[in-house]
Amino acid sequence: MRVPLSWLREYVDLPATETGRDVQAKLIAAGLEVESVEQLGAGLKGPLVVGKVLTIEELEGFKKPIRFCTVDVGSANGTGEPQEIVCGARNFAVGDKVVVVLPGAVLPGDFAIAARKTYGKTSHGMICSGDELGMGDDGSGGIIVLPPEHEAGTDAIELLELVDEVLDIAVTPDRGYCLSMRGVARETATAYGLPLRDPALLDVPAPNSFGYPVRVGDPAGCDRFTARTVTGLRPDARSPIWLQRRLQKAGMRPISLAVDITNYVMLELGQPLHAYDRSRVQGTIGVRRAEQGEKITTLDGAQRVLDAEDLVITDDRGAIGLAGVMGGANTEIADHDEEQGTTDVVIEAAHFDAVSVARTARRHKLSSEAAKRFERGVDPQAASAAAQRTVDLLVLLAGGTAEAGVTEVIAPSAPRTIAMPADHPDKVAGVAYGRETVVRRLQEVGCDVYGQDSLTVTVPSWRPDLAEINDLAEEVIRLEGYENLPSTLPKPPAGRGLTERQRLHRRVGRALAGAGFVEAPNYPFVGEQVFDQLGLEKDDPNRRVVKLVNPLSDEEPALRTTLLPGLLATLRRNDGRGSHDLALFETGLVFHPRDEAALPARLPAARRPTDEQIAALDQALPEQPRHVAAVLAGAREQAGWWGKGRQGDWADAVEAARTVAREAGAELIVQQGQYGPWHPGRCAELCVFVEYADGVAADGSEGEIVVIGHAGELHPRVIKALGLPARSCAMELNLDVLAEAAEGTLRAPRISTFPVATQDVALVVDEDVPAAVVEAFLRDGAGELLEDIRLFDVFTGEQIGEGKKSLAYALRFRAADRTLTVDEASAARDAAVARAAEVTGAVLRGA
């Protein structure tokens, strides 16, 4: 809502010194979002006067038509002689009244006017367009032609009200009444403690039976319909300057007198109005729901197919308007330029159901000034005043005659009252306002208030948003000033800090960052072609995606099922920007549709749903586990003065997974795997042992080994398809399942202080025997004297034999209660080797 300060002063006697910025501050404190104060005519300096065009000489020989004019500017130029002006516009004729700016003046935008030579003549000033005067574009692009009654030489700055301030207010959905001068004036009056001249307080004739016939078939959708008729309008009557200027400042374009008046009254009182050309309306005006598929052509020229829920205005032929949204083309007021100018109009001032209007506007993607107001709530009591005001202006400005008939169809309704304890605002605010203040503030809002400790509050008709006691509390608190609220701290019960899961998420981030990875959270939007690029099989479950109805990009309409697409894109972006040695990670949700889901039921919000209903809502949602992923490219260790660097490889990716698992306190099982995005020979399958939630299975097992992700070097095809650096590596795992495998509170190890006995063994096994398996059975066989085991070398070569590898382990033995003898340590070593040999076929090297 754009509110010209000059207009606002008509309803509230603000001190003359009060500026737009002052009013802005007051209204912001009262809860109106005044976004800006526009300074109209800033820097404007006269002389700027009314001129009468005396002669026009067309200048030939230029690329565009140019006119050399003489203009009578009265005595404004000091001589009284005609002013010679060169002008490029053509929309005026000899005798027209125009706006002339004289040398010495400054127009908005620091545009200084001086006599200057142009097109072979000297131009002593300029004939002005609306644009040049900062009046806003009127769409014509031409110069202003004034009504003939204004005298040449009259000051045009005052005449056109060029200097003003305009407050631009973003009206929140609860304050529909502030989409009117009346509403803003009320807030201003309250904020300043000044009386309000309410423009809706008009003498309105009582309804009678000889007004224009109206039949409301749907009183729920339309609880009030006022119709008035004005006849004998002068078709050539134009809107006076003041009216045009107010509309322009409020951001509307002047169109024709009748339309301008309905717009003006809407701006003034907040009541949307519609004027029908009476000669084009046939029979009774009706209000009903549309028939499914019924058609109407609206004022904007669009033909619209109606829904059975749309509320329409009708005449004998059918729909002539979308109620509260937009009128129909078939009863439109004719422009004064047209031959058949409108002389008789029927004025509609009605009140339509907010929800119905909102739905119709949304259904037809049709936002209008009227719909905007009805959606937010219009004062139903203002309808007859608004109709009266419209009639008055039509009579005054268009020479019309008001017919005596007054139609009012009103569905009975009682004023709305709210019972509120008098101290409720105090309790909400934490401030002792006291009953008197509460009552006074509510009265300022327009409420009638009765009662002592318990108040009965009748809310004003223009405040449909006041429905609950907290609404009333807000009115009191805002008028008392939010800035005056004290600052106190509540005392929550003692907390338990972060949950285990939350701690884990932080730890994982810190550990990976500590290992040199940089966190890069990515958008979860993906296109399905990325699954081809990642080399997923056709039936891979990760191809089942949740899709968006309205994605930002049609290229990426789905939600991720893996973190890799986003993270790899970021890897590529960084590489493209010249950072080639990269280690990135991300933790975040991925989204998997359930196998079977039922859409959530539409539940009411008036009460808590049952646990079953809530469970059903959750069941409609996709599964959203948290994953962690890491990617690497380029050097993991930089080359430097210390020596060579080291390329990041599959082992770094696996190590990232181990780092995460360590933080989770879970034992990670790493085994050879194969999965789409990864190099088939360099892919680790990451597993954990998860205990069954419900105890022991029938076969006696207490849990199962679950694959939670993969790590390794990416497949060369994937690297090519995604344009990644050669040998890029990646790891991704399901953090939620990993957390389930956590081993719980650690039991502290017992430390023996007896000496350690070290034994090295080298075992030769087939190349495809995993080192982890050999180690596991060495451990198994070594028994409890084994303190630690470490693989320190892997060797292949001729001495070992083709298809074989040698694994060298250092075994450390120690007893809790004694120094081990060499024989004891050797026996334990032999037992370890024997066990490994038994299971993996390992042979002691050199044996």
Partner 1 sequence: MSAPNKSYDPVEVEALKPEEIERMRDEALAAFVAASDLDRLQEAKTAHTGTASPLALANREIGALPPQAKAEAGKRVGMARGAVNKALAARQSELEAERDARVLVEEAVDVSLPHDRVPAGARHPLTTLSERIEDIFVAMGYAVAEGPEVEAEWFNFDALNIGPDHPARGEQDTFFVDAASLGAPAAKDADGSGVVLRTHTSPVQIRSLIDREPPVYVICPGRVYRTDELDATHTPVFHQVELLAVDEGLTMADLKGTLDHMVQALFGGEGMKTRLRPNFFPFTEPSAEMDMVCYVCRGESVGNPDRPCRTCSSEGWIELGGCGMVNPKVLAACGVDPEKYSGFAFGFGIERMLMFRHNVEDMRDMVEGDVRFTRPFGMEI
691 is in an annotated binding site: no
- Residue of 65, 109, 521, 797 that binds partner 1 (CB under 8 A): 521
Judged by beta carbon, residue 582 or residue 825, the one nearer partner 1 is 582
Residue 183: CB minimum distance to partner 1, A: 14
Residue 645: CB minimum distance to partner 1, A: 8
Dihedrals phi, psi of 30, to nearest 5 degrees = -85, -5
474 is in an annotated binding site: yes
- Residue of 535, 609, 665, 703 that binds partner 1 (CB under 8 A): 609
Question: 113, exposed or middle or buried, with CB in 10 Å at 0-12, 13-18, 19+?
Answer: buried
Q: How far apart are CA 219 and CA 412, in angstroms?
A: 9
131 is in an annotated binding site: no
Closest CA to 391 of 406, 408, 380: 406
636 CB-near residues (< 8 Å, 6+ apart): 516, 581, 583, 645, 646, 647, 648, 649, 652
Closest CA to 157 of 101, 93, 83, 229: 101
Report 1-30 residues binding partner 1 (CB under 8 A): 28-30
Closest CA to 71 of 87, 59, 47: 87
Q: Does 640 bind partner 1 (CB under 8 A)?
A: yes
Q: Does 584 bind partner 1 (CB under 8 A)?
A: yes
Alpha-helical segments (H) within 326-382: 354-363, 369-376
784 is in an annotated binding site: no
- Residue of 65, 141, 251, 430 that binds partner 1 (CB under 8 A): 430
Judged by beta carbon, residue 495 or residue 744, the one nearer partner 1 is 495
- What is the amino acid identity at position 764? V
Judged by beta carbon, residue 491 or residue 538, the one nearer partner 1 is 491
Residue 188: CB minimum distance to partner 1, A: 15
Report 164-193 residues binding partner 1 (CB under 8 A): 172-175
Judged by beta carbon, residue 161 or residue 475, the one nearer partner 1 is 475
Judged by beta carbon, residue 421 or residue 535, the one nearer partner 1 is 421
Q: Does 478 bind partner 1 (CB under 8 A)?
A: yes
- What is the amino acid identity at position 180? S
Residue 483: CB minimum distance to partner 1, A: 6
Asked if residues 331 and 376 have their Cβ atoms less than 8 Å apart, the reply is: no
Tokens standing for residue 339: 């031959």
Residue 442: CB minimum distance to partner 1, A: 14
Asked if residues 232 and 342 have their Cβ atoms less than 8 Å apart, the reply is: no
| Binding segment toward partner 1, per CB under 8 A, in 239-247, 317-325, 488-496, 693-701 | 488-496
Judged by beta carbon, residue 19 or residue 821, the one nearer partner 1 is 19
Residue 467: CB minimum distance to partner 1, A: 10
| Binding segment toward partner 1, per CB under 8 A, in 197-205, 475-483, 671-679, 734-742 | 475-483
The CB density around residue 355, as the number of other CB atoms within 10 Å, is 12
Q: Does 494 bind partner 1 (CB under 8 A)?
A: yes
The separation between CA 249 and the C-alpha centre of its own chain, rounded to angstroms, equals 28
Report 614-633 residues binding partner 1 (CB under 8 A): 614, 617-618, 620-622, 624
Judged by beta carbon, residue 656 or residue 763, the one nearer partner 1 is 656
Asked if residues 815 and 785 have their Cβ atoms less than 8 Å apart, the reply is: yes
- Residue of 64, 608, 747, 750 that binds partner 1 (CB under 8 A): 608
**Where are any strands of DSSP class E within 634-677?**
635-637, 646-647, 669-672
- List, edge to edge, every strand of the sheet that includes 448-450: 417-421, 454-458, 448-450
591 CB-near residues (< 8 Å, 6+ apart): 524, 545, 546, 559, 560, 561, 622, 623, 624
Residue 397: CB minimum distance to partner 1, A: 35
Q: Does 427 bind partner 1 (CB under 8 A)?
A: yes
Report 293-332 residues binding partner 1 (CB under 8 A): none
Judged by beta carbon, residue 129 or residue 570, the one nearer partner 1 is 570
- Residue of 237, 603, 721, 839 that binds partner 1 (CB under 8 A): 603
Residue 398: enclosing H or E segment and its boundaries? Answer: helix 383-398
Q: Does 594 bind partner 1 (CB under 8 A)?
A: yes
Cα-only R_g, the chain = 41
Asked if residues 244 and 254 have their Cβ atoms less than 8 Å apart, the reply is: yes
Residue 563: CB minimum distance to partner 1, A: 12
Report 648-687 residues binding partner 1 (CB under 8 A): none
- What count of Cα atoms within 13 Å lies in the side-chain half-sphere of residue 310? 29
Q: Does 570 bind partner 1 (CB under 8 A)?
A: yes
- Residue of 42, 112, 404, 485 that binds partner 1 (CB under 8 A): 485
Judged by beta carbon, residue 112 or residue 498, the one nearer partner 1 is 498
Alpha-carbon dihedral 439, 442, 446, 451, rounded to 10 degrees: -40
| Binding segment toward partner 1, per CB under 8 A, in 98-106, 241-249, 522-530, 736-744 | 522-530
Residue 232: enclosing H or E segment and its boundaries? Answer: none
CA distances from residue 205 to 232, 395, 595 in whole angstroms, order as listed: 20, 16, 68
The separation between CA 227 and the C-alpha centre of its own chain, rounded to angstroms, equals 40
Closest CA to 526 of 449, 580, 588, 466: 588
Q: Does 574 bind partner 1 (CB under 8 A)?
A: yes
Q: How far apart are CA 721 and CA 582, in angstroms?
A: 19
Judged by beta carbon, residue 571 or residue 757, the one nearer partner 1 is 571
| Binding segment toward partner 1, per CB under 8 A, in 8-16, 107-115, 275-283, 590-598 | 590-598
Judged by beta carbon, residue 61 or residue 497, the one nearer partner 1 is 497
- Residue of 431, 706, 721, 810 that binds partner 1 (CB under 8 A): 431
Judged by beta carbon, residue 173 or residue 293, the one nearer partner 1 is 173
Q: How far apart are CA 775 and CA 789, in angstroms?
A: 8
Residue 29: CB minimum distance to partner 1, A: 7
Report 337-376 residues binding partner 1 (CB under 8 A): 354-355, 358-359, 362, 375-376
* 3 state SS of 147: coil
CA distances from residue 283 to 206, 212, 214 in whole angstroms, order as listed: 23, 9, 9
- Residue of 134, 509, 565, 712 that binds partner 1 (CB under 8 A): 509
- Residue of 93, 489, 751, 822 that binds partner 1 (CB under 8 A): 489
Q: Does 488 bind partner 1 (CB under 8 A)?
A: yes
Q: Does 432 bind partner 1 (CB under 8 A)?
A: no
Report 440-469 residues binding partner 1 (CB under 8 A): 468-469
Judged by beta carbon, residue 125 or residue 509, the one nearer partner 1 is 509
Report 523-542 residues binding partner 1 (CB under 8 A): 523-524
Judged by beta carbon, residue 249 or residue 626, the one nearer partner 1 is 626
Q: How far apart are CA 786 and CA 811, in angstroms?
A: 7
Q: How far apart are CA 327 and CA 370, in angstroms?
A: 10
User: Using omega within 30 degrees of 0 as the cis cutoff, is the peptide bond preceding 47 cis?
Assistant: yes
Q: Does 548 bind partner 1 (CB under 8 A)?
A: yes
**How many residues are there in the chain?**
847
Binding-site size, partner 1 (CB under 8 A):
116
Q: How far apart are CA 765 and CA 749, in angstroms?
A: 33
Tokens standing for residue 169: 């207010």
| Binding segment toward partner 1, per CB under 8 A, in 211-219, 270-278, 443-451, 581-589 | 581-589
| Binding segment toward partner 1, per CB under 8 A, in 121-129, 191-199, 595-603, 820-828 | 595-603
Q: Does 710 bind partner 1 (CB under 8 A)?
A: no
Annotated binding site: 465, 471, 474-475
Annotated binding site for Mg(2+): 465, 471, 474-475
